[in-house]
Amino acid sequence: MRSFIVMAMFAASLSNAAWNGYTEDRDLELDTRGIKVFEVDTGAGSLAIEGVAGIHNIHVKATINVPDESADKAREIIASDLKLSLEKIRDHARLKAEFDHGFWGFGDAPSVDLVIRVPHNMVLDIDDGSGSLSVINVAADVAIDDGSGSIRIEQVNGVVIDDGSGSINIVGVVGDVSIEDGSGSITVERVGGSVIIDDGSGGITVNDVEKDLIIVDDGSGSLKTADIRGRIEQDT
């Protein structure tokens, strides 16, 4: 029993050590009538977008994280440095969620984690800084310009990705897939159109593609393919 209590206290200590800072949640919402494209501009933090049938608004849950600061100091940083807004500009919706660039010492920088629900047929144009990114169940085209962090795409109409680093996993695309990637593994499965990949480094796995697979450059790393029903073209 004594051993169990010591282990439990040690686990609690590690849990507390894992996060030392201030967290604040905010909700933003925007009616999507007259909106054709949703532009997402984010800095550091995770980003998860889900398309939902039958809704007519964009709902954003933002979790603001300021590490290694007291609540009062964190609120000052948020008030002076955080840019968080969701607005309509003509026929576009625009979300901005980032902290102004600054020197944050040797600790972690502030971040904003986002969980977003959109109408399932909303076109997405995403400019993401760092952190994991996922887009699920969007019956429209998705464009992503990403700095670093893993990317997961499931059940979208078509996708274009320009990625710096981090793994990319894509499953279930009605149309075409285009990827320009710096480093990190790439997995693409169940595509109704063609797949074009320009890759710096990292293994590539492509399965179940209705049309063509074109590898512009596979850099370094293995290439595995299966069930490609169009032509396979690889630049050597």
- What was the pLDDT predicted at 37? 98
Is residue 35 included in any domain, yes or no?
Answer: yes
- What was the pLDDT predicted at 19? 55
**170 and 223 assigned to the same domain:** yes
Give tens-digit pLDDT for 107-164: 578 999 999 999 999 999 999 999 999 999 999 999 999 999 999 999 999 999 999 9
- What was the pLDDT predicted at 100? 86
Is residue 134 included in any domain, yes or no?
Answer: no
Is residue 136 included in any domain, yes or no?
Answer: no
For the cut 70, the answer to whether the pLDDT of residue 5 exceeds it is no
Is residue 39 included in any domain, yes or no?
Answer: yes
- What was the pLDDT predicted at 221? 83
**183 and 104 assigned to the same domain:** no
Q: Angle at Cα 77 formed by Cα 74 and Cα 83, nearest 5°? A: 120
**160 and 232 assigned to the same domain:** yes
User: Taking the model in full, what pTM does it have?
Assistant: 0.89
Q: What does the pLDDT average to over 164-174? A: 97
Q: What is the total count of domains within the chain?
A: 2
**103 and 23 assigned to the same domain:** yes
Measuring CA to CA, how many Å separate 68 from each of 41, 64, 109, 174? 25, 13, 9, 45
Q: Which residues, in sequence order, are CB contacts of 214 under 8 Å at separation 6+? A: 194, 195, 196, 197, 232, 233, 234
- What was the pLDDT predicted at 11? 40
**99 and 188 assigned to the same domain:** no
Residue 102 banded pLDDT, cuts 50, 70, 90: low
**168 and 103 assigned to the same domain:** no
By residue range, what is the domain housing residue 188?
150-236
Is residue 144 included in any domain, yes or no?
Answer: no
For the cut 90, the answer to whether the pLDDT of residue 196 exceeds it is yes
Instruction: Indicate the residue among 70, 99, 119 that finishes a domain.
Output: 119
